[in-house]
A and B are shown apart, each in its own frame.
Chain A
């Protein structure tokens, strides 16, 4: 799928913007603060319903305004779609698909597959497990729309169970404890199953991508470590229950749920060692990039070529890795690349397009 047009109203530094994109590679050049990242963020808001930078909705509206609009027109192999996400102070965010309102904002997910890679994605490797769980969840939401509802249900059960633990000093009446334990297992079990399957598919593509970006010198494997002790054989639901029973003394002390997929970890093994602890900054950047490219690969298997947004990545890579990434971009899909200046980024080829970004405008470069 590729994005043909982006229309923005009062989004970040853009009062109004109408931008036509090319199906292949689109380069966006401009100094820092010109609004390159804002454009990628707008596309991400249009395609996923929220910012990749964790920004609040009010921050996305242009200074002094109380509403914004993002409209994407995209064409795929089977169909074309028009997605619109609007936000208004007081009423919140809403989404429409082909001008018809969607029941929920989350229903935009999966309509226009978009993968964004930005400097913040180093968090995937460097920071806490929550970032890696979020990576799995976002991918699963796009691969299997029902996953989002399962996830929501689990979060609700978890909140109820934690509240019960806190309200009773960690010792709820046995019958209530049993009910929430069962609900936790019933809603959490499928999440673990889905994540396990996803990690298995990731391992089919991640080693090859890491080797390609790092020039074949490094081996990357993804290891799923569920937040529930699961023996290799036997009924997983029963094992989950057993773990909850065993965790009771600990839960009494901490007043919070100590077993379940909310404690899952994803260990990134670079040449056998945990990349979070031992890899260099450059290696960690490559690992994060490989995970993002794996996301592209898995979304492609769903039937539509995803749009890849690369935010200022070339400046952070050494020349060898930069070249490797450029070769990977010789792919069929649409890519948007931002950079401060054209140097270090390849000269535009036949169907590539270059734009100059600044002052709330984006103009196509001539020649």
Chain B
């Protein structure tokens, strides 16, 4: 069990051991309901046929929500990123989950992430802007640029999230990278 647990992200040998001993000390019924919950969640979850987000229904609630705008698609790396953007409640368009970024070092090419699905959606002709919200890492930037090269020729606007200072934060505590990026991306007042 400890070995199985170590495979989870963010769980090292010590945490795995602690979790294992905790579970072993619990009543059988509790462990059973946890096991069943895990199994049920996994069995009932699949990728949405439209946006590739994880969902129990296909298409997912976000894609089938007719109140959401069809003219903007926000492209993210992971399902968790959808939640992050949703929390802002400032975006009313649709999403597309890539499930990864281009990274030759990890053997991930453009055909290994959900780009073909994105292009198919764009072919429907309702989308007028693609907002690329991949992480500001080397691979996230490369993927964003790759998407721009694919999508711009279709006559669709491609934008990238701005990078800058955290709101409500103190300038003095901002890390150097963030601060120098914010300096490069400064705007006219």
Interface positions of A (Cβ within 8 A of B): 103, 145-146, 149, 153, 156-157, 159-161, 163-164, 167, 173, 175-176, 178-180, 182-183, 187
In the complex, what residues of B have CB within 8 A of residue A180's CB? 104, 142
Q: Judging by beta carbons under 8 Å apart, are B146 and A160 in contact? A: no
Measured between alpha carbons, how far is A344 from B102 in the docked complex, in Å? 61
Measured between alpha carbons, how far is A203 from B105 in the docked complex, in Å? 39
In the complex, what residues of B have CB within 8 A of residue A149's CB? 176-177, 180
Measured between alpha carbons, how far is A143 from B132 in the docked complex, in Å? 34
Q: Judging by beta carbons under 8 Å apart, are A179 and B103 in contact? A: no
| Contact A163:B138 (CB < 8 A) given known A146-B176, A146-B180, A178-B149 | no
Measured between alpha carbons, how far is A83 from B138 in the docked complex, in Å? 31
Measured between alpha carbons, how far is A15 from B175 in the docked complex, in Å? 36
In the complex, what residues of A have CB within 8 A of residue B110's CB? 173, 175-176
Closest chain B CB from A111 CB (angstroms): 13
Q: Judging by beta carbons under 8 Å apart, are A164 and B145 in contact? A: no
Q: Judging by beta carbons under 8 Å apart, are A160 and B177 in contact? A: no
Interface string of B129-151 (1 = CB under 8 A from A): 00000000011011001100110
Q: Judging by beta carbons under 8 Å apart, are A183 and B138 in contact? A: yes
Closest chain A CB from B56 CB (angstroms): 35
Interface positions of B (Cβ within 8 A of A): 102-105, 107, 109-110, 138-139, 141-142, 145-146, 149-150, 175-177, 179-180
Measured between alpha carbons, how far is A183 from B146 in the docked complex, in Å? 11
Q: Judging by beta carbons under 8 Å apart, are A145 and B105 in contact? A: no
In the complex, what residues of A have CB within 8 A of residue B141's CB? 183
In the complex, what residues of B have CB within 8 A of residue A173's CB? 110
Closest chain B CB from A188 CB (angstroms): 12
Partner of B149, one of A159, A163, A175: A175
Q: Judging by beta carbons under 8 Å apart, are A160 and B150 in contact? A: no
Extra pairs beyond A160-B139, A167-B104 (14, CB < 8 Å)? A103-B175, A146-B179, A149-B176, A157-B138, A157-B142, A167-B107, A175-B110, A175-B146, A175-B149, A176-B109, A178-B149, A179-B102, A179-B145, A182-B145
| Contact A159:B177 (CB < 8 A) given known A175-B146, A176-B110, A180-B142 | no
In the complex, what residues of B have CB within 8 A of residue A167's CB? 104, 107
Q: Judging by beta carbons under 8 Å apart, are B109 and A175 in contact? A: no
Cβ-closest 7 pairs across A and B? A164-B104, A163-B104, A146-B180, A156-B138, A149-B177, A145-B176, A179-B146
Q: Judging by beta carbons under 8 Å apart, are B142 and A179 in contact? A: yes
Q: Judging by beta carbons under 8 Å apart, are A163 and B142 in contact? A: no
Q: Judging by beta carbons under 8 Å apart, are A176 and B177 in contact? A: no
Chosen A-B contacts, 17 in total, with CB atoms closer than 8 Å, are A103-B175, A146-B177, A156-B138, A159-B105, A160-B103, A160-B105, A160-B142, A164-B104, A167-B104, A175-B150, A176-B109, A178-B149, A180-B142, A183-B141, A183-B142, A183-B145, A187-B138
Closest chain A CB from B130 CB (angstroms): 16
Measured between alpha carbons, how far is A180 from B149 in the docked complex, in Å? 12
Task: Kindly report which residue of chain B lies nearest to residue A166, judged by CB atoms.
Answer: B104
Among B105, B110, B138, the one with the most A-chain Cβ atoms within 10 Å of its Cβ is B138
Measured between alpha carbons, how far is A179 from B101 in the docked complex, in Å? 13
Measured between alpha carbons, how far is A130 from B53 in the docked complex, in Å? 46
Task: Kindly report which residue of chain A lies nearest to residue B147, judged by CB atoms.
Answer: A179
Among A145, A146, A161, the one with the most B-chain Cβ atoms within 10 Å of its Cβ is A146
Task: Kindly report which residue of chain A lies nearest to residue B138, judged by CB atoms.
Answer: A156
Q: Judging by beta carbons under 8 Å apart, are A179 and B139 in contact? A: no
Measured between alpha carbons, how far is A187 from B142 in the docked complex, in Å? 12
In the complex, what residues of B have CB within 8 A of residue A176's CB? 102, 109-110, 146
Closest chain A CB from B107 CB (angstroms): 8
Among A145, A173, A179, the one with the most B-chain Cβ atoms within 10 Å of its Cβ is A179
Task: Kindly report which residue of chain A lies nearest to residue B141, judged by CB atoms.
Answer: A183
Measured between alpha carbons, how far is A156 from B103 in the docked complex, in Å? 10
Q: Judging by beta carbons under 8 Å apart, are B176 and A160 in contact? A: no
In the complex, what residues of B have CB within 8 A of residue A153's CB? 138
Closest chain A CB from B97 CB (angstroms): 20
Measured between alpha carbons, how far is A161 from B180 in the docked complex, in Å? 25
Measured between alpha carbons, how far is A280 from B182 in the docked complex, in Å? 49
Measured between alpha carbons, how far is A246 from B105 in the docked complex, in Å? 25
Closest chain B CB from A244 CB (angstroms): 15
In the complex, what residues of A have CB within 8 A of residue B139's CB? 160
Measured between alpha carbons, how far is A146 from B107 in the docked complex, in Å? 30
Task: Kindly report which residue of chain A lies nearest to residue B109, judged by CB atoms.
Answer: A176
Task: Kindly report which residue of chain A lies nearest to residue B180, judged by CB atoms.
Answer: A146
Closest chain A CB from B115 CB (angstroms): 11
Measured between alpha carbons, how far is A312 from B53 in the docked complex, in Å? 64
Measured between alpha carbons, how far is A163 from B102 in the docked complex, in Å? 12
Measured between alpha carbons, how far is A175 from B179 in the docked complex, in Å? 31
Closest chain B CB from A157 CB (angstroms): 5
Task: Kindly report which residue of chain B lies nearest to residue A168, judged by CB atoms.
Answer: B104
